[in-house]
Amino acid sequence: MTTSSPAPVPPIDGQRSPRYAGFTTFARLPRIGDAPQHDVAVVGVPFDTGVTFRPGARFGPGAIREASRLLRPYNPALDVAPFDSVQVVDAGDVDCNPFDITTALREIEAGVAALTEGGRPVVVLGGDHTIALASLRALHREHGPMALVHFDAHLDTWGPYFDTPVTHGTPFRVAIEEGLLLKEHSAHVGIRGSLYSAEDLTDDAELGFTIVHAREFHTTPFTEIIERISSRVGDAPLYISIDIDVLDPAHAPGTGTPEAGGLTSRELLELLRGLRDKHLVGADVVEVAPAYDHASITAVAAAHCAYDLVSIMSGRVSA
Ligand SMILES: N=C(N)NCCCC(=O)O
Ligand SMILES: [Zn+2]
Ligand SMILES: [Zn+2]
């Protein structure tokens, strides 16, 4: 992977232009056409045709970008200035069909593939969770099967809903069926809430996943949980998928299928930081539905997750 040369085009300086002014891009980064090339891309996927309950995640990318205006250029938790040594850009949104899931997934896959050519990492801002499948398909072209760390209240390995095989409740079942994932290196984290039946859990185990349930955060030391996830991933190329409903509704009210008893945003960010040394090839932050948000609580959490993901990626690219 190449490191940018000359110096990367930086985000707009908050000391020269107030952070609430000007065009809205993620963390006030340059738009993709305003940099000579990119090492890491952030891209929006405004798609929510796969939802089973409250719609509105199509407005997630815009809300996350707006909330990201406050992000500053140095990330002390990871000791990295993510925009200093590599070129990070906002690649805009993928235009995808709002009426046909199959067509949309093809368009999203093509959009993500164009950005990740040559193995460059990407952070995808959703959109509902269906889009993770397209993103995995695109990254599989570069990396082959990947480890998945999937933060979510929900398993998202269910079967068809209303005879529709690809929805936001099914992306990781399809991903396993398509051979996109290394199941022995993959985990769901934060799972909770009601299921259709106990078989949902045995079906998921048969697909090969392991689960860190939300309630385990009460009984297991945090460092042990991090170690469990980290050793599961090992050295495999890693994709991190963050469904913002992994957070408790108190920390993320703006989402379509909220479940009580979730993680705090502090816990989630710390879990991400625990994966800093992994070979992170791609990530998404999905299911932000601003219509149900209050004071941008959910969008802020999502923006901070995306910032830590970019920080981990740029640390690797520049190393
Ligand atoms: N991926 C999210 N957020 N939710 C999936 C819920 C699917 C269901 O209730 O059947
Ligand atoms: Zn979920
Ligand atoms: Zn999900």
What mean pLDDT do residues 222-246 have? 98
Whether residue 243 is annotated as binding a ligand: the answer is yes
DSSP assignment of 254-278 equals SSSS--SS-B-HHHHHHHHHTTTTS
The residue whose CB lies within 8 Å of the most ligand 1 atoms, and thus the one to mutate among 49, 52, 130, is 52
For residue 139, what pLDDT band results from cuts at 50, 70 and 90? very high
65 pocket-lining for ligand 1 (C-beta < 6 Å): no
What mean pLDDT do residues 278-289 have? 99
Whether residue 154 is annotated as binding a ligand: the answer is yes
Instruction: Answer yes or no: are the C-beta atoms of 114 and 89 closer than 8 Å.
Output: no
| Nearest ligand for residue 56 CA | 1
Q: What is the pLDDT of residues 31-41, one digit of tens each?
A: 999 999 999 99
What mean pLDDT do residues 146-174 have? 98
Instruction: Answer yes or no: are the C-beta atoms of 154 and 243 closer than 8 Å.
Output: yes
Residues with CB under 5 A from ligand 2 (ion): 152-154, 243, 245
Q: Domains in the chain and their CATH numbers? A: 26-318 (3.40.800.10)
Report the mean per-residue pLDDT for the chain: 97
167 pocket-lining for ligand 1 (C-beta < 6 Å): no
**Complex ipTM:** 0.98
Q: How far apart are CA 251 and CA 125, in angstroms?
A: 18
Q: What is the pLDDT of residues 64-86, one digit of tens each?
A: 999 999 999 999 999 999 999 99
Q: What is the pLDDT of residue 115?
A: 98
For residue 114, pLDDT over 80 is answered with yes
154 pocket-lining for ligand 1 (C-beta < 6 Å): yes
**For the chain, what's the residue count?**
319
Ligand 1, residue 171: give the atom nearest the CA.
1
Question: Ligand 1, atom 5: nearest CA belongs to which residue?
Answer: 169
For residue 316, pLDDT over 90 is answered with no
* The two three-digit tokens of residue 53, written as one number: 């309950």
For residue 4, what pLDDT band results from cuts at 50, 70 and 90? very low
CB within 8 A of 223, min separation 6: which ones?
none
Instruction: Answer yes or no: are the C-beta atoms of 297 and 264 closer than 8 Å.
Output: no
Alpha carbon distances (Å) from 258 to 251, 288, 308 = 11, 11, 23
For residue 55, pLDDT over 80 is answered with yes
Whether residue 245 is annotated as binding a ligand: the answer is yes
Whether residue 304 is annotated as binding a ligand: the answer is no
237 pocket-lining for ligand 1 (C-beta < 6 Å): no
pTM for the complete prediction?
A: 0.98
| Nearest ligand for residue 246 CA | 2
